[in-house]
Amino acid sequence: MKKDDNKIGKLKYFMAIYIFVLFAGCVKDLPSPDTPPGEVARIFASTGGSYDLMSEAYKNSTSGWVFKDIANKCNPADWGGYYKFVEVINGSEKIEGSIASVEIVYRIKRADLYIDQFENKTKTIYLVKEKNGWRLREPYCELRSK
């Protein structure tokens, strides 16, 4: 074996490690296709709103940049309030074919002049079944996890 062949082999080895390390951070942990809709909603909330958990129809009509802009508007600075996901209500999950709905509890904070007011509310969110699992039909500010 020539000295140059050994150098090329080492270079290929280090390049493979470099590429693995470079892309290792890009791999996203998406729920498996059999994850129930309520758990997908929880995962969406825990990730701060992952574009990858939106339906294909939504992604085809809305870019990731617009999605992030919408997410940023969920906490409007002009009124000082915000939404915070609390939980999926047990037993609220309904599946009819490729459409699912779940009831969630979220907290809304409204800033008044001198005190902060918190209020728990409920909302129905909708998901659609796709080949890669349940996905949200639209972004929901109530699934924010601030």
Residue 21, domain member (yes or no): no
Q: Which domain holds residue 98?
A: 31-143
With residue 18 as reference, give the H or E element that holds it.
helix 3-24
> Per-residue pLDDT tens for 121-131?
999 999 999 99
Query: What pLDDT does 76 receive?
Result: 56
Number of compact structural domains in the chain: 1
> Per-residue pLDDT tens for 44-101?
998 888 999 999 999 999 999 999 888 877 765 555 567 889 999 999 999 999 999 9
Residue 54, domain member (yes or no): yes
Domain of residue 116, CATH code: 3.10.450
Query: What pLDDT does 20 receive?
Result: 40
- pTM value? 0.73
Residue 124 CB partners (closer than 8 Å, separation 6+): 101, 102, 103, 104
Residue 60, domain member (yes or no): yes
Contact 71, 62 (CB under 8 A): no
Q: How high is the mean pLDDT of the chain?
A: 80
Residue 110, domain member (yes or no): yes
d(CA 141, CA 145): 9
Residue 4, domain member (yes or no): no
Residue 5, domain member (yes or no): no
Residue 23, domain member (yes or no): no
Residue 41, domain member (yes or no): yes
